[in-house]
Structure 1
Amino acid sequence: MEKICVLTMHRPFDDRIFHKECKTLSRAGYMVILLVPHTNDETVDNIMLKRLPIYRSRAMKFLYLPIRALFSAMKQNARVYHFHDPAFIITGLLLKIAGKCVIYDVHEDYKLKIAEKSYLISPLRRILARIFDIFEKIVSRFFNRIIVVDNHLLSNFKSHNAVKIANFPPIMEVKKREHEKFVFIYAGGITQERGILQIIKAVEYLREYSDKIKIILLGNCEDEQIKDALGQSKIVEYLGNKPWQEVFNFYGNADAGLLLLQPTSGYYYIENPVKMFEYMVAGLPVLSSDFPGLRKLISENNCGVCVDPTDPKQIARGMKYLVDNPDEAKRMGENGRKAILEKYNWENESKKLLKIYSEILKGKGEVFN
């Protein structure tokens, strides 16, 4: 049985990493070891979780965790090392120098994320973003494979042996439950960048609909401004963070999904947002930000409505449209579900992942320069 070691700073039971990639590899007969910040070692669904330290300090997390991960990874003596975070690039490079097969899994355009870090002064953000971009592209040439989630990232690594594996959901049945009001739902980070304040402000323009609708928010919230705003709304119900599997039970109690990302450079170019496809697999129409990639997705599949995510009035108008046209909203949801069954599903994407591993282990995954 071939041994695979996965390294990440994400949550232990992350949707893409644990529930999709690790489970796919385990079911295919690989021995999967997941090095992850966790409270203890344990085995879940035949995947061995090996504990890395949980650092609260950002400096400790980005300086010391990659070192600890390197030593732990070397002990595993795996055939393939698959890492998911840019902070592990040096770790991956050292593993490659040690003669290991290494895969770099890129989830986001990290240079754009660095350019928006509020805790860095503006000139420093641009300088660090540029340095990281050059560094990432140079080092990535040494890895056996680069996995990216969309075409925008694929273009960034077009000469780097890159393969696109979209973060589509698995095909699943989401049981619908009867409820009185029209329920809008959002699941994910409760942050200003995700448009949560705009959603709350949109309630001001929905007063005549107050007895018809409810807005449910699921996810972790650390923003004090958002917490204060949540306490002032009777329509919006914040239910905190929920396990990934449980989120789909809430989708079954909803009528539409909210995806109102704000126009930061990190989000404006997004093509395959995870939440969009989760809503679609649940048969929910999507009220989405009017960005090029999202507009294309909504238009091609006729599965939702696009609005200016910075304008609470437009958001409210989009909500009213879905509430006032329930048959059309239902049809959009059915269109989204059909698109998932036909093309946007993990069952299709998982075949690409297994092909990559098969090629690497057969010696066909050598580095392209």
Structure 2
Amino acid sequence: MQDNAPRVVHVSTVHPWTDNRVFRRECRTLARSGYDVTLIAVADEAQHCDGVRVIPAAQARTRLGRMVGGVIHAFGLAWNLKADIYHLHDPELILLTPFLRLRGSKVVYDAHEDLPEQVLGKDYLPAVSRRAVALACRGLCRFVGRASNHVVTATPTIAARFAPRPATVVHNYPELLPHVDGLVPYEAREDVVVYTGALGVLRGAAQMVDAMAAARLDGWRLRLVGPFRPATLTDELATRPGWSWVHRMGTVSPLEARRLTSTAKIGLLVLQPSTAYRDSMPTKLFEYMAAGIPVIASDFPLWRSIVEELGCGLLVDPTKPEAIATALRELAEDPARAQAMGERGRQAVLHRLNWSTEERALLHLYDRLRGAA
């Protein structure tokens, strides 16, 4: 790292430091391109990894503690680092924008999700207050759109939230990892249906388990890779007949999750209909495709435009385990069709839908912020 390298600080009090978008893609890309990169995020200890310095954010036990104490702690850390560019990843951090700009720094806000729509799906908020909170979040979006130097979003739909101010779309497309993805020929893979990521009610945990019972596929397993939220959800799911088909892996590293995906035959993505998910672009969709496996996905318009256009999987009503089970049987009983779908998805990722196409947009934005382009 050169002594005069531009100093960049990414900040999150929510995401683990290993987060695919924050660390693996954005931070590592900037470090490889000559930036001095520090990441303040959830971590057990300070460390250096792939050219990125990681500083642990304060870990609060309550949501309020994170939103107040955690944000104040992160602000102190960020302020002391005297960055040229601050890149903020959480809505809780939005109000730090004008203070960080006071020191002459540039500030980027990264909108991973459509915040006002996401709030409408928060079960922990009383139903009567959700619309009021969503309205306040729209105000926050307008504020950060004007107060920050630029906004980055994960999808064009989220970018529209900040109109007429321009935003840069940086999709959650996967890195190309040929040493991890697709090494095992499809016909030699395990009879496994895989889901990777956090597991919860709105992520279709119950529907996946019930679908395995309805499909009754001899010798097959449902591999669940990720934490249950809340942890007590496993107690309820364990009472369902489909639990006997489950192979629970728990939390693993991102690379191990990719490896486990690449040895499966079908990927499940049956997030439930909610304002938080309909317009999202989940990373796991593209990671399933990168691994060469067909996807069974919720029939949301945005997802349909990808899955149908590419012919890389089947779309289902995610609320109905019977519909998911029918799709599972179709693919399990016709491996040639499943393999062809997986290969179409993999080719799309190899040639179009991968991080190499997105990192150019990120680096161009940073060049503009520095006045280099």
Q: TM-score per shorter chain, which class?
A: over 0.9
For 2:21, the equivalent position in structure 1 comes to 16
Q: Is the partner of 2:202 in helix, strand or coil? A: helix
Residue aligning to 1:216: 223
Give CA-to-partner distance per residue, 1:27-50, whole Å, 9 cap, x none: 001100111233322211221112
Note the C-alpha offset of 1:158.
2.4
TM-score by length of 1: 0.94
Q: CA RMSD in A?
A: 1.6
Aligned twin of 2:11 = 7
Report deviation, 1:101. 0.4
* Residue 307 of structure 2 is aligned to residue 291 of structure 1: no
- What displacement does 1:182 show? 2.3
TM-score, with length taken from structure 2: 0.93
**Could you tell me which residue of structure 2 aligns to residue 137 of structure 1?**
142
**Conservation of the 8 A alpha-carbon contact between 2:58 and 2:74:** no
Please give the per-residue CA displacement for 1:277-309, whole angstroms capped at 9, x wherever unaligned. 000000010001111111111111110000110
Matching residue within 80, 95, 103 for 2:100: 95
Specify the alignment match of 1:269 in structure 2: 279
For residues 75 and 59 of structure 1, the distance between their equivalents in structure 2, rounded to whole angstroms, comes to: 24
Instruction: Tell whether the 8 Å contact from 2:266 to 2:296 is kept in structure 1 after alignment.
Output: yes
Matched-pair contact (CA < 8 Å) for 1:221–1:227: no
1:265: how far off? Answer: 1.1
Read off the aligned partner of 1:183 and give its amino acid letter.
Answer: V
Deviates more, 1:183-192 or 1:29-38: 29-38
Paired amino acid for 1:193: L
Q: Does structure 1 retain, via aligned residues, the 8 Å contact 2:265–2:293?
A: yes
1:65 is aligned to 70
Question: Quick check: 127-136 or 320-329, which moved more?
Answer: 127-136
**Residue matched to 1:128:** 133
**Paired AA for residue 257 in structure 1:** G
Q: Deviations over 1:93-127 (max 9, x none)?
A: 21123321000000001112222222221111110
> One-letter code of the match for 1:289?
S
- Deviation of 1:179 after TM superposition, in Å, equals 5.4
Whichever residue aligns with residue 319 of structure 1, its letter is L
> Separation in 2 of the partners of 1:277 and 1:311?
23
| Correspondences of 1:35-184 after superposition (within 5 Å) | 35-173=40-178, 174=181, 175-176=183-184, 182-184=191-193
In 2: Cα distance, 1:23 partner to 1:117 partner: 32
State how far apart, in whole Å, the 2-side matches of 1:238 and 1:36 are: 27
Deviation string for 1:205-257 (max 9, x for gaps)? 223x2x24211111001332443323652212111111100011111220010
Q: CA–CA distance in 2 between the matches of 1:143 and 1:181? A: 48
Cα pair 1:4 1:81 within 8 Å, conserved = yes
Contact 1:287 1:318 in 2 (8 A): yes
Contact preservation (8 Å) 1:5, 1:80? yes
1:268-347 equivalence runs, <5 A: 268-270=278-280, 272-347=281-356
Q: How many angstroms does 1:80 deviate by?
A: 0.5
**How many angstroms does 1:63 deviate by?**
1.0
Q: Do the aligned residues in 1 keep the contact of 2:71 with 2:92 (CA within 8 Å)? A: yes
Q: Residue 367 of structure 1 corresponds to which residue in structure 2?
A: none
Query: What is the CA–CA distance in structure 2 between the aligned matches of 1:74 and 1:180, rounded to whole Å?
Result: 50
Determine if contact 1:67/1:91 at 8 Å carries over to the other structure: no
Secondary structure, counterpart of 2:16 in structure 1: coil
Provide the C-alpha distance between the structure 2 equivalents of 1:154 and 1:139, rounded to a whole number of angstroms. 13
The answer on whether the counterparts of 1:168 and 1:344 sit within 8 Å (CA) in structure 2 is yes
Match of 1:230 among 228, 238, 246: 238
Q: Does 1:241 align with 2:248?
A: no
Q: State the SS of the aligned residue for 1:267.
A: coil
CA distance in 1, matches of 2:238, 2:142: 42
Structure 1 runs not aligned, ≥5 long: 365-369
